[in-house]
Chain A
Amino acid sequence: MNSAGNDIVALAAIDVARTRQPQFYSRIITPAEQELYSLNFKDQLAFEHFVWLAWSVKESAYKFLKRFEPQLVFSPTRMVTSGLHFTGEYFEGTIRSGDRLLYSQSLISKEYIFSMVNREKDFSDVCFEIGQVDSIEPEDQSIAVRELLVRKLSQIYPESLQIVKNSNGWPVILDNGEELPIPVSFTHHGHFVAYTYHLSLTSWKAYPHHAEVL
């Protein structure tokens, strides 16, 4: 079984002053991560952006791992990022939770920080899209991000797709009632929504024309 995990943080929705308070950020980043910021990112990133970057990586990893460990509790300071660096396009690194290691890839724009995680360092089979919505109502955003994904996948699947939550509480894509082997993760914050899905070897074999669309 594969999984998916992503997270978006809308920068207009964060409380900068609060994020800079030790009482707040020490619940998100570890002392080692604070040191990493001072050594490597101080000239490149505002501290509050670094904190939310770490948050989004950790939240993504939590969402990814929760599918394997339903009892997993989100505890940001027990998850540790390492090797975080800027490639010129993405911030990439690893994230460890217990004995599980995942790779992370994040984008930082003027408006948002978006992260996703993967088992492999290579993210070429991981697809995502970020959208903007007027409404900040969670229900509206949930509908909007699902529509965004269905619109994208309708290029591959001519049949009408449905996105439902399964009995474990995570979203699955149904094609004529049958679950597709494509794990998907949704996220929303402020006026931004995003989806991420992973194409496994199984889905490539079953749907080789994916390549034409991606």
Chain B
Amino acid sequence: MTRQEILNELKGVFAPYTTNKEALNNLNDQTDLIADLKINSANLVDIIIDAEAKYNIEIDYDSADKMLNVGSCIDVISEKLNQK
């Protein structure tokens, strides 16, 4: 999968947890989950678990800690997909 494909799919992963549709429609690597998408930190674990289910991957705790912006989410998902 390309980074762009993952980015497009991530919109669906983030959608249930953000009301900021404008930021969601304009996702880029720098988009911060909390500062830009206004996702409540209490939903960060939901996003990790939803991403694990969507891509059938396991995201270890160290990798999960890095998933704070879209670019790092794509990095982690790509890495785990490549390890499959």
Contact = CB atoms under 8 A, between A and B. Distances in A.
A20 B3 CA distance: 33
Nearest to B35: A169
Interface of B: 19-20, 38, 40-42, 45-46, 48-49, 52, 61, 64-66
Interface size class of A (residues with CB under 8 A): 20 to 34
A189 B42 contact: yes
Contact of A9 (B42, B45, B64): B42
Interface string A32-71: 0000000000000000000010010001000000000000
6 contacts: A14-B42, A74-B41, A75-B65, A77-B61, A138-B38, A138-B40
A74 B46 contact: no
Main secondary structure of the interface of A (DSSP, over half): mixed
A29 B52 CA distance: 19
A74 B65 contact: yes
Contacts of B49: 18, 23-24, 27
A137 B40 contact: no
Interface of A: 9, 13-15, 18, 23-24, 27-28, 52, 55, 59, 73-75, 77, 136-139, 188-189
Contacts of A188: 40
Nearest to A25: B45
Contact of A55 (B20, B42, B48, B52): B42
